[in-house]
Amino acid sequence: MGRLTRGARESVSGLPRAFWWLWTSTLVNRLGAFVATFMTLYLTIDRGYSASFAGLVLALHGLGGVLSSLVAGVLTDRLGRRPTLLGAQLSTAFSVALLGFMEHPAAIAAVALLVGMTSNASRPAVTAMMADIVRPEDRVRAFALNYWAINLGFGVSAMAAGLVAEYSYLAGFLGEATLTLLCAVLVFVKLPESRPVRDAAAGGDEGPAIGLGTVLRDGRFMGVVGLSFLISLIFTQGSVGLPVAMGAAGFSAGDYGLVIAANGLLIVLLQIPVTRFIEHRDPQRLLVVSALLAGYGFAMTAFAGSLWAYAATVCVWTLAEIVNSPTQMGLVARLSPVHGRGRYQGMYTLSWAVASLVAPLMAGYVIDHLGAGWLWGATGVLGTVAGLGYWLLMRRLPEGSPAPVPPARPTDEGPGAVVPGAVVPGAVVPAPPAAAPAAPDPAVV
């Protein structure tokens, strides 16, 4: 017992206060995760639409994320993490509430697109802020704790929302809107800005300006983005293909809620101890193994016929999530230059957004025309391809590889290093000379 207590204390110690407010905001947000989890069931069971139409609506939701990912990444670098996050959460609260009142199919589709745009806009700001305020050696642990908060909230909300959906889907939409609004209040009251500011007064050359073209030319990072897309296609089936397949097999929204809650609850139980185990292990092996577990975990769903069997498959691909998420996020942070974190995180977020666009279309078409078994077989193929891709990519990535565009003074110089002008909680940063920081180059997107 004492060993467990000591391990838990070590897992949460040494992280700045701002991280914990960001963590709390994430937890509150995920406690209201209703739309992403139950939209498919809402459209197919409550409203009586086909799986193809539900796939189309979810694809539009994903398209909204595609449209906002890169814009949000640019805003994160230009305006700052805090205003981008605040604006995204306020607009998400409004659009989610609006979606609950839509009746016409075209209106549902249009507002779903808006929800996708607003909800996805916060992701580059959150991950960039986390990389700003957490020391490099603590980032895998911090990303794991944040992912733990996501799934703690998700596990609770999946069970609660499943019961709510039995009586009123509108209550679920309004509940998510309320909790998202509470997140915006937390950001406004408790989170300081963390964006590093170029120190023109220091007179040093901090490297070339970073635009979206810089990210696109970074082949190594774009390889990570491509593999992230494949992994995202697989994991998205937990909220797209799985509820449709279970609904077609005669299971209710509450049944799906109980099964998918195993995903969040298992992460709550295992994320911290597993992260302690993998934190300093070979990321190449971790990413390869997690890709294979994800693909074949979903492929096993083809043989599920009971709630227990569905829950068992969820446990397999959940273990893949536990390993993949913090490992991949740590890799992304390591490859992102300090003054381009927003754009790099925006491009990484784009991989998940594009997957959210493609996965529903793929799932709806395959289930309607070929059957769910073909969908689960495809996930096994995708997992194999992703595993091979990680193995090839990481062979060319030496340990401690620097960011592709090295700034003059990155935060990765070592523990406690501070970029001039960055707001670091608990640190005393000398005031700069009277000269104002250089304005961003308007030619850089």
Determine the pLDDT at residue 414: 37
Cβ burial of 297 (10 Å; 0-12, 13-18, 19+) is: buried
Any residues with CB less than 8 A from the CB of 130 and at least 6 apart, and which?
19, 22, 139, 142, 143, 146
Are the C-beta atoms of residues 14 and 138 closer than 8 Å to each other?
yes
Q: What percent of the chain has pLDDT over 70?
A: 82
Are the C-beta atoms of residues 181 and 90 closer than 8 Å to each other?
yes
pLDDT mean over 180-187: 89
Most confident of 52-56, 117-121, 381-385: 381-385
pLDDT mean over 248-273: 82
pLDDT in tens, 341-379: 888 888 888 888 888 778 877 888 888 888 888 999 999
- The pair of three-digit structure tokens given for residue 41, joined into one six-digit string: 């069931």
pLDDT level of residue 11 (50, 70, 90 thresholds): low
Determine the pLDDT at residue 227: 93
- The pair of three-digit structure tokens given for residue 367, joined into one six-digit string: 């289930």
Evaluate if residue 417 carries a pLDDT over 60: no
pLDDT level of residue 6 (50, 70, 90 thresholds): low
Q: What percent of the chain has pLDDT over 90?
A: 18
CA dist list (Å): 31 to 147, 200, 250: 13, 43, 27
pLDDT level of residue 312 (50, 70, 90 thresholds): very high
User: How many Cα neighbours within 13 Å face the side chain of 285?
Assistant: 5
**Whole-prediction pTM:** 0.67
- The pair of three-digit structure tokens given for residue 143, joined into one six-digit string: 């990303």
Are the C-beta atoms of residues 129 and 320 closer than 8 Å to each other?
no
d(CA 131, CA 344): 12
Determine the pLDDT at residue 293: 95
Most confident of 50-59, 190-199, 237-246, 250-259: 237-246
pLDDT level of residue 3 (50, 70, 90 thresholds): low
Determine the pLDDT at residue 383: 95
pLDDT mean over 149-175: 77
Q: Using the 8-state DSSP alphabet, how is residue 413 labeled?
A: G
The residue written with tokens 């305020």 in the block is 133
pLDDT mean over 114-140: 86
Complete DSSP assignment for 272-330: HHHHHHHTTS-HHHHHHHHHHHHHHHHHGGGG--SHHHHHHHHHHHHHHHHHHHHHHHH
Determine the pLDDT at residue 431: 40
d(CA 420, CA 432): 8
| Domains of the chain as residue ranges with CATH | 16-193+213-399 (1.20.1250.20)
d(CA 226, CA 386): 9
User: Of 47-56, 277-286, 366-375, 431-440, which range is least confident?
Assistant: 431-440
- The pair of three-digit structure tokens given for residue 194, joined into one six-digit string: 């963390």
pLDDT in tens, 197-212: 765 444 444 456 677 7
